[in-house]
Chains A and B, each alone.
Chain A
């Protein structure tokens, strides 16, 4: 039985190749030396020191986009994302895959120790590595803890383009992640599994939250309404009709999309009143991704 839920040897080799392709021969050479020492004579102290020292030897330049073996990565580790990473983060995640995993309690303790003494960029690397760590079911509490962090790059590492939370978090922790992402203005479209993990409890929280913002005279992110698509009812449909009549295009478009994807009859009726909007949704000129781009530009 293996501790990994994917082919970690292949992914490790692929990440190694990606590191190699960055055209940083000195960094690559240093990493190779560390790897040889680790494979020959694994020591906890050396493992931790290397993890910490990585940026000193690799630098922090962004990865060359053309170097990323996107298709192979997608088939070996679905959803795992390295775009816009810096070299030090990639090297750290790659390095974590050399930690011996046969002894479960040893492995868990080593990773926990790294978390407990981590500085900001180390934390971001550790959370980015969640989808590749062994014993994935063991990192649920740690992830929920990370969501409570107030450090922007740490929140992003967990919330943005990371497949781990949607796959493993129980509903309350998932809902907390989504709400925290809304509060801290993360790009919601980049949360993996956002629509798939929508649920009634979250839909209720979202609606209450919108009312609070409204009472305070503050607006809400129109993208949050997609979480209501499958959970419309008599009460929250009033919010959708309010949006439908909004003076802001993005709000009106959000209302149209919720109606379009919903099975709730009054929502279908509402959209049927405006065939020109329905046509735009069908053509794809109104979509959640389009709204996302619009609000990022404004």
Chain B
């Protein structure tokens, strides 16, 4: 927080240099259904808002450093429904999350048991739109155990599931994730299979699941490849996300991919489906998403006497292109 200031109109204007690709998607609204904002700066929030991102989903994940106690998980989940949600609202981006025990940390059995005990406290919170991201990393028996347990939890709560598919042995891991979900009686329409590529997409779509693609440099999808996927498979049940996190990643992956699709002659309606509508439909099955809340700086319940935290709720802009800091 910046404390008190005398904001002028100028402080609230977008910076004058805007990249050419932004023009192509001017006026479009985007929903990034997988982005780890906890690991990102306010510059990213500002840039996302400027590029038309109006809503995001932050799946609970591995923070890069293994946790050693259940309280670390509790505080992390609390921050996803508390502090991060507020931080996002200051930039006019509606923040949702999915709550779950990630596959890596499922391998610490003692801790995993304790985390499973606290999960029910969080999955019914306002704005929790699914159980996620869960699934396989190394495909160990413990990963499978807690994946299954969380599928049951999702079924009981009537929440969608956001599945993380593994980097290694991906094709088998993806198939196995879907098999197990079916085995537990989940409707494929309630399951979003994430981090797809050219090798996995066909089976995921054929079996009736949602196929999410992560546009992430070097290790996951590039957006040129994504353009080809949409040309080949169309826009039904396909969605793109950034999965931006603590690694080299791009929180503008969704609007940038929309711009590239536009340039490549993909129909605007298809672009709208894969960068907004499909994610909305899939996760709105939680009953926790109200589209009217999108792109509003602060929601009705956070308003008090008509005043918001900063004037109009907007954050003042700091010009990074000068050596002067005021």
Q: Which residues of A does B touch, CB under 8 Å?
A: 48-49, 52-53, 55-56, 60-62, 83-84, 86, 88-89, 116-124, 150-153, 156, 160-161, 182-185, 187, 190, 218-221, 296
Q: Is the CB of A182 within 8 A of B4?
A: yes
Chain B contact residues, CB within 8 Å of chain A = 1, 3-6, 74, 78, 81-83, 85-86, 90, 118, 121-122, 124-127, 287, 298-310
Do the beta carbons of A151 and B304 come within 8 Å of each other? no
Closest partner residue, chain B, to A89 (CB atom): B301
Residue of A nearest to B90 (CB): A152
Q: Which residues of B contact A123 (CB under 8 A)?
A: 82
A-B contact pairs, 16 of them (CB 8 A): A55-B126, A55-B301, A60-B301, A84-B303, A88-B301, A117-B118, A117-B122, A119-B82, A121-B126, A122-B126, A150-B83, A151-B83, A152-B308, A182-B4, A185-B310, A296-B307
Indicate which residue in A55, A119, A190, A218 contacts B85 across the interface (CB closer than 8 Å): A119
Do the beta carbons of A61 and B300 come within 8 Å of each other? yes
A97 to B308, CA, bound (A): 29
**CB <8 Å contact, A86 and B300:** yes
Contact A53 B124 (CB under 8 A): yes
Write out the residue numbers on chain A whose beta carbons fall within 8 Å of the beta carbon of B83. Answer: 150-151
List the A side residues contacting B4 at CB < 8 Å. Answer: 182-185, 218, 220-221
B86 touches A120 (CB 8 A): yes
Closest to A183 in B: B3
- Name the CB-closest residue of A to B125: A119
List the 5 closest pairs (A to B, CB-CB), nearest first. A119-B81, A152-B309, A153-B302, A151-B86, A86-B301
Q: Let me know if B1 and A150 touch, CB within 8 A.
A: yes
State in angstroms the CA–CA spacing of A118 and B306 once bound together.
24
Contacts of A56 in B (CB 8 A): 126, 287
Cα distance A122–B82 in the bound complex, in angstroms: 9
Question: What chain B residues lie within 8 Å of A119 (beta carbons)?
Answer: 78, 81-82, 85, 125-127
Instruction: Quote the shortest CB–CB distance from B207 to chain A (angstroms).
Output: 31
- CA separation between A219 and B127, bound complex, in Å? 39
Q: Give Cα A281 to B190, complex, Å.
A: 66
Chain B residue at minimum C-beta to C-beta distance from A152:
B309
Closest chain B residue, CB of each to CB of A219: B6
Pick the contact of B124 from A52, A62, A118, A187 — CB < 8 Å?
A52
The distance from the CB of B312 to the nearest CB of chain A, in whole angstroms, is: 12
Closest to A186 in B: B307
